[in-house]
Structure 1
Amino acid sequence: MQGLHLTADLHDCQGAPHWLTDAPALGAMCVRTVEEAGLQAVGSLVHAFAARPDGPGGVTATVLLAESHLCVHTWPERGGVTLDVYVCNFSADHSAKAHAVMAALEAVFRPGRVQRHALQRGQNEAMA
């Protein structure tokens, strides 16, 4: 159960506005991004939220990976995005691929400010 779990909170995103609201485009871009990083998409689900009085609805996109998952949540009314990439490192170390996915997504959304976190999971499993 060893793996790398990366998260990022993107603020003040300056990328093309449709990435925050266009569910089919965001879902396709997420699948393309993981495949270009060398990860294997095995399924995906994208949901567009209804518009609200304060602006358009956001999108949640999830890509199931043979190596684990990618989740993207957008808040267009705030110009914000949260990213979550988890890769299991059972038969190979996929950490560089996870970092590549995060970098590619950050390049698309072009945030003004980013908060990043990385968690190594399962390192102490022999002690459990």
Structure 2
Amino acid sequence: MQGLHLTADLYQCRCEPAWLTDARILGDWCVEAVQAVGLQPVNQLFHTFPGTDGAPGGVTATVLLAESHVCLHTWPEKKAVTVDVYVCNFGGDHSAKARGLMFALVNRFQPKWTEQRSLDRGGEDE
């Protein structure tokens, strides 16, 4: 059950608006980013929410990995994104791949600032 769980809250993103509102564009890119760092996607779900009060809706993009998952939620009205990357280290240490993926995801959105956290999951003697 050992693994690494990374989270990032991205604020005042300066990317093109489509990255925050178009599930297909964001989702396809997420799968490519996962593969680029050497993780294995096994399924995915991408959803654009309806807009409200004339503002576009956000996106949830989830990629299930053989190693665990990646999930993003966008708030275009706030130019904000939350990112969750979790990898299990059962068959090998995937921590460097998870960190590389998080780096790529954060850079995609060009935030003015971020709040990032890292949590080691599971115990040593499992």
User: Does residue 2 of structure 1 match 2:11?
Assistant: no
Distance in 2, Cα, partners of 1:91 & 1:80: 34
Superposition RMSD in Å: 1.0
The amino acid of 1:65's aligned partner reads: L
8 Å contact 1:54–1:77 — kept in the other structure?
A: no
Q: Percent identity between the aligned chains?
A: 57
User: Does residue 77 of structure 1 match 2:86?
Assistant: no
Distance in 2, Cα, partners of 1:36 & 1:121: 24
- The residue that corresponds to 1:118 in the other structure is 118
Distance in 2, Cα, partners of 1:114 & 1:5: 16
**What whole-Å deviation, never above 9, does each CA across 1:63-117 have from its counterpart, x for those lacking one?**
0000000000000000000000000000100000000111001111000010000
- The residue that corresponds to 1:35 in the other structure is 35
Which sections of structure 2, spanning at least 5 residues, go unmatched?
none
Which sections of structure 1, spanning at least 5 residues, go unmatched?
none
User: Does residue 95 of structure 1 match 2:89?
Assistant: no
- The residue that corresponds to 2:16 in the other structure is 16
Distance in 2, Cα, partners of 1:61 & 1:125: 34
1:54 Cα deviation after fit: 5.4
TM-score when normalising by structure 2: 0.97
